[in-house]
Amino acid sequence: MNTDAMNTIDSTTPAAGNWAVAAEHFATPDATALRRAYYAEVAGRYWKRPVTEAEIDEGLRDDPADGLVPPTGQFMVGRLDGTPRACGGIRLLDPVTAELTRVYVDPRARGTGGGAALLAALEAEARALGAGRVRLDTRSDLVEARALYARQGYQEIPAYKTGPYAEHWFEKVLG
Q: Tell me the backbone φ, ψ of residue 137, rounded to 5 degrees.
A: -125, 155
State pLDDT tens for residues 12-28: 333 456 999 999 999 99
Q: What is the pLDDT of residue 170?
A: 98
**Average pLDDT for residues 78-84, to the nearest whole number?**
97
Helix boundaries (H) for the chain: 29-47, 53-62, 114-128, 143-151
Query: Sorting pLDDT into bands at 50, 70 and 90, what band is 10?
Result: very low
pLDDT digits (tens, 9 = 90+) for 152-165: 999 999 999 998 88
Nearest CA to 84 out of 25, 142, 21, 27 is that of 21
* Confidence at residue 12, expressed as pLDDT on a 0 to 100 scale: 39
CA distances from 154 to 44, 139, 146 (A): 26, 15, 9
46 phi/psi in degrees, rounded to 5: -65, -45
Q: Is a pLDDT exceeding 60 seen at residue 11?
A: no
Q: pLDDT tens digits for 22-59?
A: 999 999 999 999 999 999 999 999 999 999 999 999 99
